[in-house]
Amino acid sequence: MMWKMLEQQLGEAGPPNKSWPPGDLWKPSRTMCTSLTTCEWKKVFYEKMEVAKPADSWELIIDPNLKPNELVPGWKQYLEQHASGRFHCSWCWHTWQSAHVVILFHMHLDHARRMGSVRMRVFKQLCYECGTARLDESSMLEENIEGLVDNLITSLREQCYGEDGGQYRIHVASRPDRGPHRAEFCEACQEGIVHWKPSEKLLEEEATTDTFSEASRPRAQSGSGYNFFSLRWCFFWASLCLLLGYLQFSFRSSAFL
């Protein structure tokens, strides 16, 4: 009843006046969030877009009815196929981790008005424990959301700005796969989205790329294949000093005798 009364009040109020504020002063609303994860997505997206494209205004809209490959003219699509998220069943309280979360983005940039819009849909999964027909949303860590937003901005640069966006990141390299993906419980699979899982070789390359700079620094500073400040060499130098001290003490003792 409360929902019906609210809908009637909104209907009587009519649609919002789109002529105000002017386009140059328009900024997307950052307070209307339906969940904690939604708020986190918008927070990270707005912060990163202000750095990437400070001259343009971008909004992020959660659209659960977004369809793959059904684009309005002028819009572009980006599909994140292998995100990692945790699901929580609202019926039996069962939780599970999935490395097969699919996220769909539709994006558009009005170059004349310098305003852009991104519509986003995170596909849900059914709980395989209780068997209820409830599609549950996923929750993600902030660090995962930041990496996924980086991928989105990479796609925005390429498709909306014609720039070289850089390299896309894979977000399941540190997530062990505990079992096969069950397509019958996946909303994306049921809608015909074939999402791939990165090969082991690709995951190894991703992990190597992340740690290459840190791993290569000691070798670059030493100028050779040995790092004389490693733990093994520290033990060696300490043992050598003790041995020299012992020999010196023994030599002095024998001299007094």
Mean pLDDT per 10-residue segment, the chain (257 residues): 39 38 37 65 96 96 94 96 83 84 96 97 87 70 87 95 83 53 85 68 48 38 44 71 78 63
pLDDT at residue 220, as a whole number: 35
Give 61's strand partners. Answer: 119
Query: Which residue type, as a one-letter code, is found at position 251?
Result: F
pLDDT at residue 136, as a whole number: 65
Torsion, Cα of 186, 188, 189, 191 (10° steps): 120
Q: Is 160 helix (H, G, I), strand (E, B) or coil?
A: coil
CA distance 178 to 181: 9
pLDDT at residue 133, as a whole number: 58
- Alpha carbon 48 to its chain centroid, in Å, reads 12
pLDDT at residue 229, as a whole number: 53
What is the C-alpha R_g of the chain? Answer: 28
